[in-house]
Amino acid sequence: MLRLTTPISDEEIRSLKTGDTVYLNGVIVTGRDAAHKFMIEHFIRNEPQPEEVELDAILKELLDGGVIYHCGPVVKQHEDGSYSFVAAGPTTSIREEVYEPEVIAYYNLKGVIGKGGMGPNTLKACQEQPAVYFHAIGGAASLIAQAVKEVITVYKLEFGVPEAMWVIRVEDFPVVVTMDSHGDSIHEQVAAQSQAKFAELIAA
């Protein structure tokens, strides 16, 4: 069992292999479709507008050596204005394939958490960065929420609660490395094996 704390170093990332179980600690940021599209269009491919320069700088600091989590949480707001996560399960990552390589490079990401894996462009970005893809357990949203010890702040709440960028502190957040920085992907292996089995079945 491995434990990593953000920010994560290149050396730590390169030491990881597919199949490794990791407990993540430290600060991570949630981000789904709206957040990825926003970062691409407002920061990565274009100069940020004056009113957005500060947010770009904040995200650069938070994500440098950090982790982004594909998650649409269920969130409770308390009387004092603070928030807590009620459910924090992963969402399907492949939707972010068109954005993720650029986000990884621009923000010096070391990890992406989600479910279902990602495609060849993200796998290539993981090799170049380096970075890894962490698979979180689908269907365990309430259990995962227990690893979220603090909701530090939130950005772009106007996107809606699931699509906002929540900055959270986690302790022993359980994940498995399914795409590593050496070009290996469990998701590609499973797909290839499934296709081979399917071809075998229809040929019978």
| Residues annotated catalytic, as ranges | 36
DSSP annotation string for 134-171: EEPPTT-HHHHHTTEEEEEEEE-GGG-TTTSEEEEEEE
| Three-state DSSP class for residue 193 | helix
